[in-house]
Amino acid sequence: MGCWRRCEQAIGWLPVVVVEAIVVWSWYAFNVVLVGSAVENVFIKILYVLLQNAALVMFQWSYYKCIMVPPMRPPPEYKLNQQELTQLAQGVEPESVTNRQLNTLTYSRFGHGIRYCGFCRVLKPDRCHHCSSCNSCVLKMDHHCPWINNCAGFHNYKFFCLFLIYGALYVVIIALLSLPYFVLYWQDKITVAGSTHLIVMFFMAAMISFTFVMMAIYHISLTCANKTTLESTSFRVRFYKATVNRWSLGSNIANFEQVFGTDRSQWWLPKFTSIGDGVHFPVVLAPDTQGAQFDPPKQRPQQQQQQQQQQQQQ
């Protein structure tokens, strides 16, 4: 590993350090400055501490899982040797690749050929993309997030959604609970030791809460549509004869369960409960099909052309 790559990896942790520094400071400003100095009622003190710290625990738990769970890569059967890689680069689909029967349903928009990665030397499963920051192909990649120094993908997308939800809850709690005391202090009706912390905490929580809430709503809507950020913002790949979102299973709940699982008691916990293996995904046969079914394996355009030529020769 080169020196530049090591420096790049070290710099990648800076956003995480910034987030954790803000969290530590916000805990001090809320529990020590606000609760310890401004709040007088003992019952309210206990309630404030319980609410803020419960949200903090779930937020930090989800954040830790987002960061520490490594991306899932294509399995060994998707590996390419040098000869296969050379042929694919020349626009020729090797027979050894065709015979693998991987049943991928998407193909590249460039030349309508099979999707592969020359950097990782692998065939790309459906919904898999190469991340230049992680330097690897990531299964069901959503996007690379610098705030977690990791990719959001099949391996941790549930954790990422919970990170946004609990992050929004954490900052909203701080903003709402500190608002009355911020107003009282602004009106010179109370004195607060370390008032600067109270003022900065309220304004930061109010601004950050807007970002967290909007991001949480956006990613939950993607989950209910069974889309990733890449799929909703770009057209890097194409579906065989598809003009609609073929990954959608026809209902918001069915799509949501693909990420959060079928056990609803586990939805709120940052535990891996996503359905599938990140390589194969159920698709509906038509937009109005009721329930999830598996499309029969599709032939790539080059395979279809070869088959037609063989039939003509016969």
The confidence band for 246, taking pLDDT boundaries of 50, 70 and 90, is confident
pLDDT higher than threshold 80 for residue 235: no
Residue 238 has a pLDDT of: 54
Residue 284 has a pLDDT of: 76
What average pLDDT does this structure show over 226-231? 92
Asked if 160 contacts 142 with a C-beta cutoff of 8 angstroms, the reply is yes
d(CA 173, CA 165): 12
- Please tell me whether residue 81 adopts helix, strand or coil conformation: coil
pLDDT tens for each residue of 88-139: 888 888 888 888 878 787 777 665 578 899 999 999 999 999 999 999 999 9
pLDDT higher than threshold 90 for residue 59: yes
pLDDT tens for each residue of 278-303: 999 998 754 444 444 444 444 444 44
Question: Strands 106-108, 237-239: parallel, antiparallel or unpaired by DSSP?
Answer: antiparallel
- Tokens 């065939």 belong to residue: 123
| Percent of the chain scoring above 70 in pLDDT | 85
pLDDT tens for each residue of 133-189: 999 999 999 999 999 999 999 999 999 999 999 999 999 999 999 999 999 989 988
Count other Cβ atoms within 10 Å, centred on residue 156.
Answer: 28
Is the sign of the CA dihedral 75, 81, 82, 86 positive or negative? negative
pLDDT higher than threshold 70 for residue 25: yes
The confidence band for 207, taking pLDDT boundaries of 50, 70 and 90, is very high
Residue 263 has a pLDDT of: 96
What average pLDDT does this structure show over 211-233? 95
Residue 298 has a pLDDT of: 43
Which residues face 238 on adjacent strands?
A: 107
pLDDT higher than threshold 80 for residue 310: no
Give the catalytic positions in this structure.
145
The confidence band for 250, taking pLDDT boundaries of 50, 70 and 90, is confident
Residue 113 has a pLDDT of: 76
- Tokens 């911020």 belong to residue: 182
Asked if 172 contacts 213 with a C-beta cutoff of 8 angstroms, the reply is yes
